[in-house]
Amino acid sequence: MLKKDQFYKDILDGLSLFYDSRFITDIRNSALRFPVSQLGNALNRRQTASKLWLLDRLFENHGGELGEVHVLGGWYGVLGALILHDPRFAEARITNIDLDPSCAPIAESLNAVNVERGLFCAATADILDIRYTGSNSVVGDTTLSAPDILINTSCEHLNDFAAWFDGLPPGVLLVLQSNDYVSETEHVNCVEDLEAFKAQAPLAHLIYAGGLELDKYTRFMLIGRKLGDV
């Protein structure tokens, strides 16, 4: 092991012991197994602040019983880990779905303790290919659970947002985040402001809409349900 790796490993080991936290141990192991810079980005201050904001507003407006949660465009499963390590959300089970096949092994490593407990799994799929039926959701040959909550904090990355949104089932709670960070080349679907986000994702039963100002951009969030028969 490189001297620098040993240095950070020792610090994270100490923190894991002090905070009695398997999450910190799983972050330490993932950073050693997958030394990719994107993992640092996924856990950086802005990304974490955006997800903690989501957890607080979701708990205030919906409560802690989440049930079956699908995190769409879920990247390395940080949001799933934050939910499952938060004692307010005791009942959640998370499926993390991402198009990029390199994400699933990292997400399952970052959530190793949650995988052991049967609370977390990761799948590779284009979320535009998911078909929602009454009792489950299907992508290719794979049948996934029927979600109680669909979370997508990667709306700014979707190149055909309208097609994706059209295919979502009514009745399911939706938690959506986007942003105005247009200078990132991967952001093909930014919104100018909260009103533009509401227009892009029209929700009949809106229970929360707000913005979080960060140093480089503003993140927007909508929580609600689509109109239609449940």
Ligand X SMILES: C[S@@+](CC[C@H](N)C(=O)[O-])C[C@H]1O[C@@H](n2cnc3c(N)ncnc32)[C@H](O)[C@@H]1O
For ligand X, which stretch binds (CB under 6 A), given 152-160, 192-200, 202-210, 220-228? 152-160
Given 157, 165, 180, 223, the residue binding ligand X (CB under 6 A):
157
Query: Which residue's CB is nearer to ligand X, number 5 or number 126?
Result: 126
User: In the structure encoding, which two tokens stand for residue 69, read together?
Assistant: 């949660």
Q: What is d(CA 199, CA 108) in angstroms, rounded to the nearest whole number?
A: 35
Query: Which residue's CB is nearer to ligand X, number 47 or number 111?
Result: 47
**Closest to 226 (Cα-Cα) out of 126, 150, 157, 155:** 150
Task: For tokens 């960060």, name the residue.
Answer: 214
Given 154, 161, 169, 222, the residue binding ligand X (CB under 6 A):
154
User: In the structure encoding, which two tokens stand for residue 46, read together?
Assistant: 């802005």
- Give the interface size with ligand X as a residue count (CB under 6 A): 14
**b/e string for 72-87 if b means 16 or more Cβ within 10 A?**
bbbbbbbbbbbbbbbe
* 73 scored as a contact of ligand X (CB under 6 A): yes
* 180 scored as a contact of ligand X (CB under 6 A): no
Report the alpha-carbon angle 143-148-152, nearest 5.
85
Kindly identify the residues of this chain, within the stretch 110-149, that bind ligand X according to CB under 6 A: 126-128
Kindly identify the residues of this chain, within the stretch 9-68, that bind ligand X according to CB under 6 A: 47
Q: How many CA atoms lie within 13 A of 121 on its CB side?
A: 7
Query: Which residue's CB is nearer to ligand X, number 16 or number 153?
Result: 153
Given 98, 106, 172, 224, the residue binding ligand X (CB under 6 A):
98
Which residues would be at the binding site for ligand X (CB under 6 A)?
47, 73, 75, 98-100, 103, 126-128, 153-154, 157-158
